[in-house]
Structure 1
């Protein structure tokens, strides 16, 4: 990882002061390496009021990949009426898969149903995701179905994706709290996770959609999943930072053996179906913590922070990431 860039706003006649990088102090019981599942282009931009042009989205993905992110969730093949910010999914994905700079980069896409899967497979998608809910209220709000009806809808999608040779990821929303139902029983979450695993999902991402989880809840859910036969290697965690708990929750998951963490460059995102959901865990904030713990990611913090600054200018607002702000990375001037 390179040194932090100079702060152009530092006072004095000599060289500008540079923010220090964290001292590397490893801790026991943590993995040597973590894979970051970058969700900024999909989960980040889907909740922005600004509709980002397809060419800017494509450049965003290129810059994320150039920073060292090997998994970048590209888009979602949902009906444009549901998420108008992602109405350009087919055009964007075709652009990305034709780009030689992105060869070797995993570009997962969300598919809500058979039609979405058809569109994704026609364009050569090799990694797809379905998104379930642990609660009835959110299943109705997000999918207009009960939890059981949504799982029944996903089963043939997963089967067809597997037959086509695609890897399948399962998202579970509202794992720790629901704005309509309150606390979510652990057994409820375990049941949905096992159903997704049994229908062929190779990885299950546990979503704290409204950001209310605390480390004790994370520990309790991961312990229950292990007892039910769902191993940490099959899991990812996806925390929102509504109450500033995303990093502490992530550290708890890492201590429990989870090695895949979802994060969004610059802290972009939220959820269009849950107004209380704020931004995702910022990838830069996650990298700062992991670097200090001596955990490898393969991602260059400086390049990533510069990319988030560049995107923030396109969105017309500062980056929500504390680390991006602290590093004072100037936005790129090129278009």
Structure 2
């Protein structure tokens, strides 16, 4: 499965493997039928090696476009297929004969509804994968049909690189999938959580918690996104996801989720402190101060909030108040590294 979350979790192979994964049998069958219709027409002009390279590179172009657009996760061959459609349009445009114009019009008729669906149904259809693959396909085809001597020299090695890269990425994806399966076998709460009720947002939350305990944050965030889709009015899910996003240093997204949770009555020391820390990291200490104060009001002995407030005072130039908070933290727990580092910044050791 491709998307910004897998890539942030260093699953780079998803840029390629997402084109070979589908949501269900119908999705796979429809894409295979489209592939059987479009690929032979492109292959007649480009040849087998350039067509395969084009399909792979267009798929990667679509995946990168989706990641840059901030899409959390996606799957399907839309990028590669859209690239082939774009290739058909370029081939038809350059042919300058009746068959060429017919090919252009036919591919344009396929392209129009696909690109329209990307923007009309953004929640169900990737709004970036289709146009990204389409543009990538057109650009690569323009180069393949050019008189650049490098084309004849490099198209076969390029196809071989694409083939090897695809096989390696599929192998890595399969291995990672087997690790996920073994994780579910050795930690049955992961598989049992959703097996009890696949359509339940609560079950998705339970599995997200299980993934979180195993350190698989990307999988946990995917489940929480699905839980919100199934139960959009549950602020507990926003609170849970906001906390995970904060731990991943995705502070803007974290704040957005925590804002929803707090606005819907979830008000505790942890959430207030997490939002305060996110605001500090984004350079907004004045906005963070009320949250840190509220966190300490809810739980006076909460050391993370004391440390956060120390950082806020430091950012605001209130040196004495920052030192007092850092010292209060260290007096109760001398192992808090952030407070010790803050104190060292404000009270540098005397030179020997």
Q: TM-score, normalised by structure 1?
A: 0.26
Bigger radius of gyration among the two: 2
Task: Determine which structure has the larger helix proportion and give its number.
Answer: 2
Task: Determine which structure has the larger strand proportion and give its number.
Answer: 1
By relative contact order (CA 8 Å, sep 6+), the higher-ranking structure is: 1
Q: TM-score, normalised by structure 2?
A: 0.25
